[in-house]
Structures are given as structure tokens and as C-alpha cells.
Chains A and B, each alone.
Chain A
Amino acid sequence: MGVFHLARGYLALVLHAHLPYVRHPEHEHFLEERWFYEAVTETYIPLLQVFERLERDGVPFRLTVSLSPPLVSMFTDPLLQERYTKHLDRLIELSNREAERTRGTPFHDTALMYQHNFHAARRTWHDTYGRNLARGFRRFQDAGRLELTTCAATHGFLPLLMVNPEAVRAQVAVAVDLHRRHFGVAPRGIWLPECAYAPGVDQILNEFGIKFFFTDTHGVLYASHRPRYGVFAPLYCPSGVAVFGRDTESSRQVWSAKEGYPGDFDYREFYRDIGFDLDFGYIKPYIHPDGIRLHTGIKYYRITGTGDHKEPYVPARAVEKAAIHAANFMFNRQLQVDYLSGIMDRPPVIVAPYDAELFGHWWFEGPQWLEFLIRKMHYDQDTVELITPGDYLERFRCNQVAVPCASSWGNKGYNEVWLCRANDWIYRHLHLAAARMTGLADDYPSAGGLLRRALNQAARELLLAQSSDWAFIMNTGTMVDYAVRRTKKHLLNFLGLERQIREHRLEEGWLAWLEETNNIFPDLDYSCYRSSREKAARAG
């Protein structure tokens, strides 16, 4: 290509941002909606602010951010925008009161930090992005700073849905369509939910023009043919779609609470929140109206040590640690690249994917760490260059061919987290519903009016039932009731709609109510469920 590259290796940082679709118009204070609010305040806004500061200071960077379709749908939903606005206002009010209350205590600096952060969040939310954070991510995509990838429509666990290839095809089709509508271009890459791959999935990705996806380390290492460069170069599946494998070393440094950075004793302690610690009468207006204590996001302690004793958080010390850890991470990547480039005949690419919500929500200092890392990489070295997988593939078009190994990034590396005794019962229903959805799409090929609406809503209910989040939560053993109810409710909605369609007795009132309540994917076209056989017949 004639481009001169100084760097001897590449680092592909990938942030996968996802939350299940938790929008509940039926109730003003729905606990699970707070997942979204907390992640907005603690993760998505802080990340966008990092990008803004880097841009302002003229520090170039290149990151990959995967935005799941449910998350994009929540970013752009007027009801959730309205509710988050109120939520943030209450949080600001609380932080104002806290700034007063803590005066003269060791917590005062931290209280001022929260007050400042939340006010800044309000400016970002209202003034910079007009309450729609999807605009923020698009802005940095258009500026050439982010490569945005999509994810399956509702984060379905694709290997376990492959019993009905049409269901996987629809998960991809709906995601790609939504991504294009919100970000103006088709995604080059996809984050497979839970990094879960099985042979055959790549062929469906290829149908939608997707060029690359990610697997866990062993997805690439255990490929059908031993990969010459390990996980430090992508493979091509026989379908032509590239796969990038996760680097173990860089993952562990960030992910592991014990060995990794987030467990440092100077960092903020997640579990000591004033929602639990403060006097009930004082905190009552800021927790759930039913008096259920919950995380407000204001936490005054640092991890301190392994025991229960906790010392006050000192923001300045934590910032210093984030800088030290960024330098350490960079140093280790330089060593890695130095070593690898000595034994490889092309520059290695280190793929370091993380759940975006780790940054800020779990690891409060994570966004600061990321900012330090990017600045240091720009100013202090030229061994490692930030790259996205799409860019890498443009520079290195020739890659080894092999079939990746079926795998996931969940506990034990395969499908067990999502297929165990706690959740195995869901698959008989999910598979049956998927088969029936394809039956409907085949039998009603060009429906209009009310029938079309019912078919589209049936597809939405099926998609929502397929979220891998429900199976995951059932496995973790907490909030199980919510996950079970969501699974059953969407399945029952689907079965009810299917029956009404088959029996030609659609209830418009109910349909309208479902459309209003489970309003994800307004542009969905149910014909994406048509079977390949039917499609071929129609094309011929």
C-alpha cells in the first residue's frame, strides 16, 4: 500500500457495550431499568468524555466499540431518555446535599468529585448529545476515532440458536439494519454475543457483508488447522470472514480482580454505597419508592484491603494509580510486541476486548486508565500502534485459512454457562418458537396492515426472548425471577400472536399494547425469518 509504518506491532482495544432491553413503561420505578441509568452515568458518558478530551487535545486514537442493538435502542428511546433525565436530576440533587453534609469530613473531596461528575454528565447528556448517546458514538466514528461494530439483535447466544439457522440469520439481519440506520454505514465487524461461535455462524455473517468477528483465545488457537501466528494475527474462516482471537495476557491484567488492576487497594470500593450506608430517613427520597435500598452510585471508600475494614477514598491517589497502571499496561504490551515481532514475519496484533461496563461502573477509574493509556501510547513510545480489526484487514489482506473452534468467553470456555441445569429448559421453547416464526414468514409472504404488524411484533417477542442475558442471569442465581419472567413473557406473547395469526382473529388492542410496550426495532421486517428454501423458490 506504500504506507510506512513505524510501529512494530498493534493493539486492538475493543469495548463491548451491551445491556439487555430493560424498558418498562408499565411502571415508573422499575428496578431493572436502573441497569441502564447506572451504566449511562458511570460508563457511557465517562467514555464519551474521554474521547472528547483526547480530541480537544489533539491526541489521535483508534478504538473499536461494539454497541449492541438493545443498547442503541435504549439510547434512542424517548421514554428512557426522559426517565434518565429525571434520574440524573435526582442524583445531582443528592450530590449537592452530600457536598454539604460531608463538609469537614474525610469524604468531602470525594463528595465534590461526584457533584462535579454528575453536573458534567448533565452537560454531556443534554448539551453535547441532546439526550441521545448514540449520536456521541457516531460523532467519533465519523471523526475516524472509533470503529463501531454491531452485535446480534438481542444478544442471542448464537451457537445454541443454530438449530434454526433462520433465527441466527434474523439476529444478524436485524442488527445490521439497525446499525446502518443509526450510524450511517453498515458494520464491518460484529461482536458475537458472549464471544460465542460455532462453525456455520460465519457463513451467515458473510451473507450480511460482515468482515470480522472475535472469539476467545482458544476459538482461534484450537482452530481446525493450527494457526501459524497463534492469536497474534487473524484467521480467515473458509467463508472469508476473519476471526480475531483474544490475547490472554492483556485480558488478565485488566479483567482479573485479584491479579489485575481493578482490585488495587487505592481504587474505589464498589460495595460501600450510601444507598445502603446512610440513615434511611435521609436517603429514602433517592432509593426505590418502596423503600428498597439500592446503589445510588455515590461511594466513599477505597478497596483498602481484603478485609471488611474500609478507609475513605482519596481521588488524587486513585488517579495516580490509574496513571501507573496505564504505564504498566503499555510497558507490557511493548515487551509483548518486542518479543513477538522478533519471531513473526509480520507485525503482531494484540486483541484486548473488554465489557465496556467494566470501565466506570465496576472499575470506577477505568475510563481514566484508558485515557492515560491512549495519551502515553501517543507521546511516550512508537513500538505499539492502536488499530481496529477493520484497519488491520485492510493492511494485511492475506491470512491463514482455518475453521475456528466452537467456543465462548464464558466460564470454562464453551456453552455451559448458557446451557446448564439452571437454564436448559428454555431451549425447547426458543427453538419451537423460532421454527414457528419461520413457518409464519413462509406462509404469509407479503402481509399488509394489521397482519403485517402482528407478524413483526411476533418477531420482536421472539428476539427479546432470545437474549443471552436471561440464561446468564438464571445461571448466576440472583435476579433469577426477572430473567425467567422475561423469557416466559416474551415466549407467551409470541405464542399468543402466532395463534391469533393462524386463527385469523387478531386483537388489535392487545397488539397495539405489545407494540407500545416491547417497542424494540420499529423498522423490523418479519420476512427476514423466511426459510432459505422459500427465499430460493421466490428468487427462482
Chain B
Amino acid sequence: MTISLSLFLGAVLAAALLVIFLRPFRRPAGMAKTAGPAFNEEMAAELAVPPPPPAKKPAVPALELPAAYGLDRLVLLVRDPYWLYAYWEITATKQEEFDRTYGVSAWQATRPVLRVYDVTGIEFNGQNANSYIDININEQADNWHIPAGRPNRSFCLDLGRRFPDGRFVTLLRSNLVTTPRDDLSECLDEQWMWIEGLYRTYRPQYGISSPLILEEMGAGAGVLPLGISSPGWRGADQDIN
């Protein structure tokens, strides 16, 4: 009885605090609703420790996306002709599986490595890459900008562990990507004659668009997307001139 009474009182208190907490927000509904599912499920825990009342007008509450989704995956993206980007998630299950297969402290004894395969023009089977490079990464990393260094080539990525004896074990394999060209193709259609003059005036001149003009005109002032720019629009939390 005592427990349920205190729970009930706690509930009333928490509800009251919640109302107080949310009222001064500009966007209360959105924030509250965003967190909606969590409230329903974690009622008891929330009630046991009611949040302290905010000292003054609180900042807009932080929005937190899940740190992990419980899904083993390694995704490779192209940034430009010379760089790739990869992100990944390894679940605890995967980690335990590794230890079960390679010995109790196998994870501890190994180091994480990204293996970047050049798979241009082949049907990659894990063994037949044209070449590969290894990148040692740290245990905490869950993404990496990769200097692949070669335009117009296809790449695939393994995330794996290396044993002290040099043995490499693949944990995850990525999708396959191809870097863009950064020059004219050498493939000239056989029947067609090449007209040199067409290219007379062309000098690579990337990004003559919003980003460039904003750099030139804006001098670092506030920038709105796509040419709409207005240095005066500031968030309420920023300094006001």
C-alpha cells in the first residue's frame, strides 16, 4: 500500500513537473510527442526519479538519435574521385560470436582494421581483388573518411580484426562503389571524329553555384540554403547585435 501510494504521489508530482517543464517551450508539442513512446514505456523509472525543476527558462530539449540500431552493417559511400566514406555498426552478438569462434579473449587480442579492396572490373569473391590497402583504426571509431586515391575505380570494404600474427578476419563486408572520373574519358566513339575546338574554353571550374557566390559575397556571414542568404537571421540563442 505504502509503495503504491508513494508511486501515485510520485506520478502526480512528475506530471506536474512535466507540465511546468514543457510550458515555456516554444515547440512543446513537438518535443513532447517526439519523446512520446519513451514516456509510455518507461513510466515507472521516470516516476521514481522525478526530474529536478528547471532553474529558469530552459533551453530547447536535446534530441537524441539512437547510438546504435542493433544491426550489423558496413556502408560505403563515395565522397569524390579520391575519397570514400564508410560507417558501420557491430552488435554485441557479433562480438561474442567472434570470441566463441576464435577464443575467449580473441576480441581483446586483435585490432580493428579497414581493408579497402580495389575490385575494378571483376566479380569480387573476397579473394580476387586487384589490390587492397589496410587502414588501422581505433576501437571507438564507427565511421571513417578513406583516402582511396583513385578516380574511376571500384571499391569494396571489409571491416575486420587483425591478430598479432598478422591474420585478418573479416567481420563485415560493404556494398561496392565506384569513384567518379576527374578528367575526360579516353573512350572516343569509333565512328565519331573528335572536335578539339569544343573544349577550347573549358577549364575545370567546380562549384560555380550557391556555395561559391556565398563564399565570395558572404565573407562568412549567415547563409541560407541555395542562394538565399541573410546574415541577420539568428537563432534566439545567439548573440544579438
Interface residues of A (CB under 8 A from B): 16, 18-20, 24, 26-27, 31-32, 34-35, 38-39, 159-160, 163, 195, 198-199, 216-218, 221-226, 228-230, 232, 248-249, 251-252, 255-258, 262-263, 270-271, 273, 275-276, 290-295, 339-340, 343-344, 355, 357-358, 361-362, 400, 402, 405-407, 409-417, 419-421, 424-425, 427-429, 431-432, 469, 472-473, 476, 478-479, 481-482, 485, 488-489, 491-493, 495-496, 499-500, 507, 510, 513-514, 517
Contacts and interface: CB of A to CB of B under 8 A. Distances in A.
Nearest to A486: B63
Q: Which 3 A-B pairs have the closest CB atoms?
A: A413-B206, A414-B80, A355-B227
A39 B180 contact: no
Residue with the highest number of chain A CB atoms closer than 10 Å, among B183, B206, B209, B222: B209
Given A27-B26, A409-B209, A362 B229 contact: yes
Contact of A500 (B35, B37, B65): B37
Residue with the highest number of chain A CB atoms closer than 10 Å, among B36, B228, B237: B228
Contacts of A493: 33-34
Nearest to A287: B232
The bracket for how many chain B residues form the interface is: 35 or more
B96 interface: no
Nearest to A198: B78
Contact of A217 (B181, B202, B233): B202
A144 B233 CA distance: 38
Nearest to B31: A489
A26 B27 contact: yes
B225 A431 contact: no
Given A163-B175, A255-B213, A256-B212, A292 B183 contact: no
Contacts of B206: 216, 218, 411-413
Interface in B186-241: 186-189, 192-195, 197-199, 201-217, 221-237, 240-241
B227 A222 contact: no
B185 interface: yes
B235 A19 contact: no
B75 A26 contact: no
B182 interface: yes
A13 B114 CA distance: 46
Contact of B78 (A159, A232, A428, A488): A159
Interface stretch (B81-89, B122-130, B155-163): B81-89
B92 interface: no
Given A421-B145, A469-B225, A479-B233, 15 more contacts: A31-B233, A199-B178, A216-B209, A224-B187, A226-B188, A230-B199, A256-B208, A263-B217, A270-B217, A402-B185, A410-B211, A412-B206, A415-B80, A424-B143, A488-B65
A507 B32 CA distance: 13
A500 B213 CA distance: 45
A151 to B, nearest CB: 11
B195 A228 contact: yes
B29 interface: yes
B187 A38 contact: no
Given A417-B211, A428-B87, A344 B216 contact: no
Contacts of B235: 31, 479, 481-482
A503 to B, nearest CB: 9
A325 to B, nearest CB: 16
A405 B241 contact: no
Given A410-B211, A411-B211, A492 B65 contact: yes
B104 interface: no
